[in-house]
């Protein structure tokens, strides 16, 4: 068991090569993604009691989300094949990651995003990294359908999680959780959008167990936003709605893989309300010092719900993946807190405002 990683972290392809599809060293395109912290919570005992709750903080990846783990592999593989351009549909994070890794690989990136429905930080990343950003008058599901059409007929590589290398790269997060803990957690909570990540973690845990690195498997606990919960409803949602724009998806590409992971692990896929998501989002920032984006907080909101429902027990080890950094979406942060107090540049007035 490796409790801490020493030395320079070379990125998930170099570090986990034996678990990943073969790839020529020259093609490897990395920004040193992975090796994110698993943070022990300190100040949520009033909610969780004697449950051990940890946060897999994927916001600390190079572009600020878990997407980098899959993107390093998808773009490296595309580079090995001699591909010149990549394309994706995105609720934001995939576009930011695709744009960055394409820039590193010297490729063109095309990204299709729903107009007005992606967080500001993500849009700024895609633009800064030089992607051609097309804002479509439609949702993520429309964008993905169009991307599928384009890749059928043109020499551009799809880097959505339908690209099998994305899931392969993302599974490495499960390895890291096991290395940190020395075993798999009892429960693993994740937000679910296109359902690639829950698929990837489940695969990662299973492969690590096959290698003999762990002996247990977690129950996979996926949480969708109430207004965008097709898997919970059992049918696609034509007009998904949620404040958590990252998971505003009505027809997930990895639907059946996600339900298989749920069923094989004895877990659940359920929904949490936007209000619950925002409450968990604020709780993490204000009590734990961890700033994640709203969609990410669906994992904690789910864990709170499962604790209230009596599903979680004292002594359980619970991991929540926080999929993206809070700075991705400054608007939601600012809108969900009281406005900062305005005060004159005057010592007395400032002391009064401080309550001193």
Question: In the complex, which residues of this chain contact ligand AN7 (CB under 6 A)?
Answer: 65, 90-94, 161, 191-197, 246-247, 293, 295-296, 323-324
Shortest Cβ 66–ligand AN7 spacing (Å): 7
Nearer to ligand AN7, 238 or 346 (CB): 238
Nearer to ligand AN7, 182 or 330 (CB): 330
Shortest Cβ 254–ligand AN7 spacing (Å): 7
Shortest Cβ 40–ligand AN7 spacing (Å): 22
Shortest Cβ 165–ligand AN7 spacing (Å): 14
Nearer to ligand AN7, 51 or 71 (CB): 71
Nearer to ligand AN7, 62 or 191 (CB): 191
Nearer to ligand AN7, 211 or 239 (CB): 239
Nearer to ligand AN7, 44 or 228 (CB): 228
Closest CA to 322 of 280, 269, 272: 280
Tell how far CA 40 is from the center of its chain. 19
Per-residue b/e over 206-215, b at no fewer than 16 CB within 10 Å? Answer: bbbeeeebbe
Nearer to ligand AN7, 67 or 104 (CB): 67
Nearer to ligand AN7, 192 or 290 (CB): 192
Q: Which two tokens stand for residue 91?
A: 């609720």
Nearer to ligand AN7, 27 or 85 (CB): 85
Cα-Cα-Cα-Cα torsion 201, 277, 37, 324, nearest 10 degrees, comes to 80
What is the C-alpha separation between 269 and 271, in angstroms, rounded? 7
Q: Are strands 52-57 and 38-40 parallel, antiparallel or unpaired?
A: antiparallel
Residues comprising the chain, all counted? 356
Shortest Cβ 200–ligand AN7 spacing (Å): 7
């Amino acid at each position: 068991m490796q409790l801490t990683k020493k030395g320079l972290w070379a990125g998930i392809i170099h570090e986990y090569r034996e678990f990943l599809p073969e790839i020529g060293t020259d093609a490897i395109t990395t920004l040193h993604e992975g090796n994110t912290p698993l943070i022990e919570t300190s100040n949520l005992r009033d909610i969780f009691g004697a449950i051990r709750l940890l946060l897999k903080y994927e916001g600390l990846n190079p572009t600020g989300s878990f997407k980098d783990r899959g993107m390093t592999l998808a773009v490296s593989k595309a580079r090995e094949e001699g591909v010149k351009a990549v394309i994706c549909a995105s609720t934001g994070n995939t576009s930011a990651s695709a744009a960055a890794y394409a820039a590193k690989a010297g490729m063109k990136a095309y990204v299709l995003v729903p107009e007005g429905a992606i967080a500001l930080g993500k849009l700024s990343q895609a633009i800064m990294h030089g992607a051609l950003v097309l804002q479509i008058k439609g949702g993520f599901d429309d964008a993905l359908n169009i991307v599928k059409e384009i890749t059928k007929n043109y020499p551009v590589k799809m880097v959505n999680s339908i690209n099998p290398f994305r899931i392969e790269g993302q599974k490495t997060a499960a390895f890291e959780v096991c290395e940190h803990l020395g075993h798999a957690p009892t429960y693993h909570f994740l937000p679910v959008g296109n359902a690639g990540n829950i698929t990837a973690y489940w695969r990662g845990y299973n492969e690590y167990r096959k290698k003999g690195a762990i002996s247990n498997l977690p129950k996979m606990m996926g949480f969708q936003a109430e207004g965008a919960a097709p898997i919970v409803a059992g049918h696609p949602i034509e007009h998904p709605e949620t404040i958590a724009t990252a998971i505003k998806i009505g027809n997930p590409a990895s639907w059946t893989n996600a339900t298989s992971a749920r069923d094989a692990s004895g877990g659940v896929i359920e929904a949490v309300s936007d209000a619950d998501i925002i409450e968990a989002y604020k709780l993490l920032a204000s009590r734990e010092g961890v700033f994640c984006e709203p969609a990410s907080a669906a994992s904690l909101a789910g864990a709170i719900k499962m604790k209230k429902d009596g599903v979680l027990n004292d002594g359980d080890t619970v991991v929540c993946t926080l999929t993206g950094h809070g700075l991705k979406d400054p608007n939601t942060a600012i809108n969900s807190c009281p406005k900062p107090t305005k005060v004159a540049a005057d010592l007395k007035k400032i002391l009064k405002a401080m309550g001193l």
